[in-house]
Chain A
Amino acid sequence: MKAWIAFWNILKKDIKNYYLKPPNISWGIIFPLSWTLMQVIRSPDGNILNLLPGLISMSVLFGTTSMLAVTITFERSGRSFERLLLAPISLGTMVLAKIAGTILFGIFNAFVPVIFASFFINLSAINWTIVFFAVLMISITSALMGLLIAVSAEQVFEAQTLSNFFRFPMLFLCGLFVPITSLPVFLRPLSYILPLTYGTDILNGAFVGTNTLPPLLCFGILLIFAVSLFLICRHCINKKWIL
């Protein structure tokens, strides 16, 4: 019960202090919206449904990785993060509480292009349960990657630079813009060590039926990624922040 009180209050504090701030809400809406508009204007005859998996994945990836990396680095530089390290809650609870807000923010980002698209196309045939869980898994893995970046960065600008260093190559390698089969052979193994590849594949299957792997396998791999990243993050925090 005590751990739950601490978890809920860390989550509530983060949502209030960071995610519900006007600049972040506007980022959460404007970023996915502008990507969607850009794609629609670029190829007016293109099928919006084909674009949605990519737009959702990008919105989640950009929303989650930078938010968590920046907020944690910010709290660390002001030393308020020490309060969490000194509280009688396990590192696991603390990590879960910190990523929970980011995951919710990622889910919010993901559905902005969906809502926008719903004005132009009929989305009633989509299996929303699969889409929701795919978005959830992409959010979890991306948030944990953001946490891993936060552990490595000392300053906010470092966190932002590191986030971009990971995000942009990931976008090009995960099959969003170029199908993995069209990538040079030596780059393909890299694609398969990225969680976003599997999330995008599930979304491709759910929206246009062009998945290359069975959804269950993708969910399993994403789960392995999430658990591994969680354990790595916990270990890194324990090693790096408790000297």
Chain B
Amino acid sequence: MAMVSVKNLKKTYGKFTAVDDISFEIQKGEIFGFLGPNGAGKTSTINMMIGLSRPTAGEITVDGIDVRKQTKKAQSIMGIVPDESNLYNEMDGFNNLCFCAALYGMRKKEREAKALELLELFKLKDAGKRPFKAYSKGMRRKLTIAAALIHSPQVLFLDEPTTGIDVESSRQIREMIVDLKKQGTTVFLTTHYIEEAERICDRIAFIANGHIVALGTVPKLMGSISHGHGIHFLTDKNAESFATELETCFKGTKVTIQPDHSLVIVAEQRIPLFPVIAFFQDRGIDVFEAREIRPSLEDVFVKLTGIESSVLKKDAEKVGPK
């Protein structure tokens, strides 16, 4: 049985449809990425999944619990990190964690021990007695994640966990997410960052205009778009002088010259490397570099959604630097 199951989920606000009939499943211990630009329906989806918003139609279950009918029971096994760090500014880090633990009914000794453990884990022990309002953005994010983990949830929902924070904190958060997966926690992650999703997610869903346009593992998504096989060559001569000759020698190939005067050979079939090297050697051309060109997840995203990846990057920049 899937840990999280979403079936035909729909959310409308008046005439506007934010989420339109989406379905997916997340297995136990999986990191599931939800990738899309602002307004694609990511936050609407996550809000319905955590019980903060009512679906217009569809079903959501978490560990077999119907989120619509047994919201509070489902929430007891969820850890939730909203897109904004929303702990109490007046309280210090330690007391914020203890308060969050109390909301889950944890006893004093248990919650204090767990709060200390998490402060240690997130390298925030020294800041534990500082008020939350004095924390940097990265520290605020880490403490918000720690608060979501205080009751050892089975499923962790992370809405844009690394948006707007420094590189070091982002790296620590990504490492922590991978560690949680190793411990068996199921993670649902929404993000603007394609590289982040590619690096840590087991499966990714691309969402655009409320629809899931593609869903699968990174290799599966890569393979889902048809592309030729390409090799990039960097030589000691300007490639323009022999590009046409190269195309004539190797039937079915297309040679394009790059701005740095290197060249890319593309063909429908895989291109054997040695004949091409021999071609260069015969003409006294030295080859410094030859590498196979693979489509990136970014290429796949652009092709499948029709949205330029720069749109995602701009969305992320609106929130803050990574």
A→B interface (CB under 8 Å): 1-3, 5-6, 8-10, 13, 17, 78-80, 82-90, 242-243
- Quick one: which of B86, B89, B91 contacts A13, CB cutoff 8 A? B91
* Contact mask for chain B residues 95-110; partner A; CB cutoff 8 A; 1 contact, 0 none: 0000110111111000
What chain B residues lie within 8 Å of A6 (beta carbons)? 102-105
Q: A13–B102 Cα gap in the complex (Å)?
A: 11
Contact between chains at A90 and B72 (CB < 8 Å): yes
Contact between chains at A79 and B104 (CB < 8 Å): no
What chain A residues lie within 8 Å of B53 (beta carbons)? 242-243
User: B152 to chain A: closest CB distance in Å?
Assistant: 14
- Quick one: which of B54, B78, B86, B90 contacts A17, CB cutoff 8 A? B90
Number of interface residues of B (CB under 8 A): 28
Can you list 16 pairs linking A and B with CB atoms under 8 Å apart? A5-B107, A6-B103, A9-B99, A9-B103, A13-B88, A79-B84, A83-B100, A85-B52, A86-B52, A86-B80, A87-B75, A88-B105, A90-B72, A242-B52, A242-B53, A243-B52
Docked complex: B169-187 residues within 8 A CB-CB of A: none
Q: A84–B99 Cα gap in the complex (Å)?
A: 11
B235 at the interface (CB under 8 A from A): no
Contact between chains at A5 and B106 (CB < 8 Å): yes
B82 at the interface (CB under 8 A from A): yes
Residue of A nearest to B84 (CB): A79
What chain A residues lie within 8 Å of B73 (beta carbons)? 88
Residue of A nearest to B76 (CB): A88
- Quick one: which of A17, A82, A89 contacts B91, CB cutoff 8 A? A17
Contact between chains at B75 and A5 (CB < 8 Å): no
User: A122 to chain B: closest CB distance in Å?
Assistant: 43
Contact between chains at B54 and A84 (CB < 8 Å): no
Q: A17–B133 Cα gap in the complex (Å)?
A: 13
Contact between chains at B105 and A5 (CB < 8 Å): yes
A88-B75 contact given A79-B86, A242-B54, CB 8 Å threshold: yes
A88-B72 contact given A9-B99, A79-B82, A242-B54, CB 8 Å threshold: yes
Residue of B nearest to A17 (CB): B90
Q: A52–B82 Cα gap in the complex (Å)?
A: 49
Contact between chains at A78 and B99 (CB < 8 Å): no
Contact between chains at B103 and A84 (CB < 8 Å): yes
Q: A188–B316 Cα gap in the complex (Å)?
A: 59
B87 at the interface (CB under 8 A from A): yes
Q: A243–B19 Cα gap in the complex (Å)?
A: 14
Residue of B nearest to A5 (CB): B105
Residue of A nearest to B132 (CB): A80
List the 5 shortest-distance A-B pairs measured between CB atoms, nearest first: A2-B105, A9-B102, A88-B76, A87-B103, A79-B86
Given contacts A79-B86, A86-B80, 12 further A-B contacts (CB under 8 A): A1-B105, A3-B105, A5-B102, A8-B102, A9-B102, A17-B91, A87-B104, A88-B72, A88-B73, A88-B76, A90-B72, A243-B52
B265 at the interface (CB under 8 A from A): no
Residue of A nearest to B53 (CB): A243
A13-B99 contact given A2-B104, A82-B86, A88-B104, CB 8 Å threshold: yes
Q: Which of A83, A85, A242 has the most CB of B within 10 A?
A: A83
What chain B residues lie within 8 Å of A13 (beta carbons)? 88, 91, 99
User: A142 to chain B: closest CB distance in Å?
Assistant: 25
What chain A residues lie within 8 Å of B216 (beta carbons)? none
What chain B residues lie within 8 Å of A2 (beta carbons)? 104-105
Q: Which of A17, A79, A88, A90 has the most CB of B within 10 A?
A: A88
Q: A25–B74 Cα gap in the complex (Å)?
A: 40
Contact between chains at B72 and A82 (CB < 8 Å): no
Q: A17–B86 Cα gap in the complex (Å)?
A: 15
What chain A residues lie within 8 Å of B100 (beta carbons)? 83
Contact between chains at A89 and B103 (CB < 8 Å): yes
Contact between chains at B87 and A80 (CB < 8 Å): yes
Q: A85–B50 Cα gap in the complex (Å)?
A: 10
B51 at the interface (CB under 8 A from A): yes
Contact between chains at B76 and A78 (CB < 8 Å): no
A83-B86 contact given A88-B73, A242-B51, CB 8 Å threshold: yes
A86-B75 contact given A79-B86, A80-B88, CB 8 Å threshold: yes
A86-B50 contact given A17-B90, A80-B87, CB 8 Å threshold: yes
What chain B residues lie within 8 Å of A88 (beta carbons)? 72-73, 75-76, 103-105
Q: A83–B50 Cα gap in the complex (Å)?
A: 12
What chain A residues lie within 8 Å of B54 (beta carbons)? 242-243
User: B248 to chain A: closest CB distance in Å?
Assistant: 64
